Amino acid sequence: MIPFFVQIKCQLGKAYHVAAALADREIASEIYSTAGNFDLLVKFYVEQGTDIGHFVNEKVQTIPGIQDTHTIITFKAF
Closest CA to 16 of 60, 59, 66: 66
Split at pLDDT 50, 70, 90, the class of 77 is confident
Query: Is the pLDDT reported for residue 76 higher than 90?
Result: no
Task: Look up the pTM and report it.
Answer: 0.94
What confidence tens digit (pLDDT) does each residue in 17-69 have?
999 999 999 999 999 999 999 999 999 999 999 999 999 999 999 999 999 99
DSSP class of residue 54?
A: H
Cα–Cα distance measured from residue 35 to residue 55, given in angstroms and rounded to the nearest whole number: 25
